[in-house]
Amino acid sequence: MELRPFRSIRYAPRILSAHGLSAVFAPPYDQIGPAVLDRLYASAPENIVRVTYRRREGEDPYADAAKELSGWLADGTLEKEKRPALWIYRQTFMADGAIVVRDALVGLVRLAEYDAHVVLPHERTLAKPKQDRLALLAATKADLELVFLMTRAPLSSALSTRRTPALSATDEHGVRHDAFRIADYAAHVELQGLVKNAEAIIADGHHRWETALAFSKDPAAAKLPGARYKLCAIVDMASPGLIVRPIHRLLSRVPGWDPRRVLESAKPWFDAVELPDPGAAADALRAHSRIRPAFVLHAPPSRPALLTLKEDPAPIPWPEGRSDAWRALDVSALEVVFLGKILAIDTDAIARGEFVSFTSDTEAAIAAVDRKEAQAAVLMRATTVSDVEAVVGAGDRLPQKSTHFFPKMYSGIFGVSLEDAVY
C-alpha cells in the first residue's frame, strides 16, 4: 500500500468547546436509519451528518451538503490543518465483559483496482449506495468517511501510545473514540514502510472504496490531487480489538410459511437438535463445533432448533466456482441450502429486501419473532477474521451481510479536501 499523510479537516476548538466532539460526529452513512438521523440532527447544528448523509429536504441534497461544507469551512466551523500528519484512531469498548482496545492507522491510501492485489474486497456491493456516495463525492470534493482496512502488516506495537489524545468522544454504544496526531516525518517514514509491501482487506467501506475509485477516473477529478487516494483506517489483523459480530436474519412475508414443514424439509441436509428456548439455543450455537456450518431457527410454535449441515448431506446446488473456504461458511449453507433450496428465496430477492432483513442484536431478533413482527429468526455465529482471510485468499467473496465489524469507524473526526496537494 502507498500511504500518505494529509491535512485533516477538523472541527474548530470553539465548536468542540461549545458542544464536544460527541455531539458533532456520526456513524457511517450505512448505519444511519431515520431515528438515528433525527437524533444526530438534534444533537448539534454542526453535526457532520448534515454533510455525509443529509436529509432530502431540497431539490438536490448533494448540492446542499456541499454548500453546508463550504459554509462551515468559510465561517471557521471546520478548519484545515496547516501541516500534513498521520493519525492513530483508538477505539476502547467492552466485548464479552472485558475492555478491548483497537488501534488504527489513519492516512491516505493510493486507490487501485482489486486485481492489483493491494486492497481486496471481502463482499459484493450494490449499485444504489455507490450512486449515492458518488454524487456526494462529486458535489463536495471532500473525503469525510473512512474505509476500514485490515492487514497483516505489524502495526500494533507501532501504534501503541500513552500520549494524551488530540480528540476524544464517546458514542451512543459507549465506545470511546480517541485520535492521536503523528506529526513527525521520521514516524511517517517508519509507518509507510510497515505497510508498503502489505495487502489489505476491506472490512467496512466497500462502497466508499469503489466510489472513490470510480470518481478518480472521472475527467472532473483530473485536477484534484486527492482524488487518487482514499482516507482509510488500517488495523493489524493481530489486534485483539478486531471484533466481528454475527448478523442474524429475520424472515417475513414468506409465502405458505409453516415452521414444521420447513424443519421436515430440512432433514436431507441438516441435523436438528431442539432446545427449550431461543436463549438456550443461542448459547448452544456459540458453543457448537465449527467443523460444519450451523445456525439456529427460532420459528414458533416449533421449538428453537440448532441446525447443523450433515456430514453427508443430500446434493447441494453450490454456485459454480465457489471455493472450499466459501462453502465452509455458515452464511453460505444458510444462503444456498436453507434460504435458496428449502425456502426458494434467491440472492436477488434478498438484495431487493424481500423476505429477509438483518440485525446484529440477538435479543432484538428473538423479540421481533416473539412480538410477531417476523415469522422466524435465523440466529448466526460470527464469521471469523480467519474465515474472511481464507475466502479472500481463495480469490472469492463472502455472501452479503456475512460480517459486522464492531465498533464502526465514525465520521467527523478526520476529513480531507480532494483539492489539497498530497504530501
pLDDT tens, residue by residue, 136-155: 999 999 999 999 999 999 99
Domains 3-242+406-417 and 247-381 share a fold: no
Q: For 73-121, write each residue's pLDDT tens digit.
A: 999 999 999 999 999 999 999 998 999 999 999 999 999 999 999 999 9
Q: What does the mean pLDDT of the chain come to?
A: 96
* Residue 275 clears pLDDT 90, i.e. is over it: yes
Q: Decide which of 3.40.920.10, 3.40.50.880, 3.90.1530.10, 3.40.50.2300 is the CATH code for 3-242+406-417.
A: 3.90.1530.10
Q: Which fold has domain 247-381?
A: 3.30.1760
Question: pLDDT tens-digit profile of 150-179?
Answer: 999 999 999 999 999 999 999 999 999 999
pLDDT at 353: 85
Domain coordinates of the chain in residue numbers? 3-242+406-417, 247-381
Which of 214, 230, 251, 242 minimizes the C-alpha distance to 131? Answer: 214
Instruction: Please state the pTM of the whole predicted model.
Output: 0.93
Quick: pLDDT tens for 178-210.
999 999 999 999 999 999 999 999 999 999 999
* pLDDT recorded at residue 304: 97
Residue 16 has pLDDT above 90, yes or no: yes
- pLDDT at residue number 127: 79
User: With 90 as the cut, is the pLDDT of residue 351 above it?
Assistant: no
